Amino acid sequence: MTGWDISPSGVEFVTSLVQDAMDDVAKDVKAYGTDMESAATSAGTISGPYCGAAPTGAIGAALALFVERTTADVLFLGARAAKSVNGAHEATAHYAVGDEEMAARAQRRALAAPRIDLPGQGAGDGQK
């Protein structure tokens, strides 16, 4: 890949902005989980009085199903951003030492979609 003209300081600046945004997203994702749990608990049911833990109502069940079905997508966002930032750093490091071939390989690896392995649903225990 000839003709690259990269500013390592520019890459560092942009990736630091992305990392800041990733930190904000991580806080939002954590709040999302807490808020969804609270909403499901607060949704109530159409049943009469009960003793002990409240039964799960239709809204609570729907929220739980929504979270279950969107977890992989939410995790993918963080994994994609992290892989892009790490790939940019790796490609820039190879470029800085004059190895454009390795820089191109690092860039191609970073562009590939990350694989998300959800706990309890695959062979591993999370993101790979």
**Band of residue 78 on the pLDDT scale cut at 50, 70, 90:** confident
pLDDT tens figures, 24-42: 988 988 888 888 888 887 7
Q: Which residue has the higher pLDDT, 85 or 46?
A: 85
CA nearest to 93, candidates 109, 106, 79: 106
Query: Tokens 């003209």 correspond to what residue?
Result: 5
Predicted confidence (pLDDT) at residue 3 exceeds the cutoff of 80: no
126: region left, alpha or beta (phi > 0 left; psi from -120 to 50 alpha): left
For the chain, give the percent of residues with pLDDT over 90. Answer: 12
CA nearest to 47, candidates 37, 56, 38, 60: 56
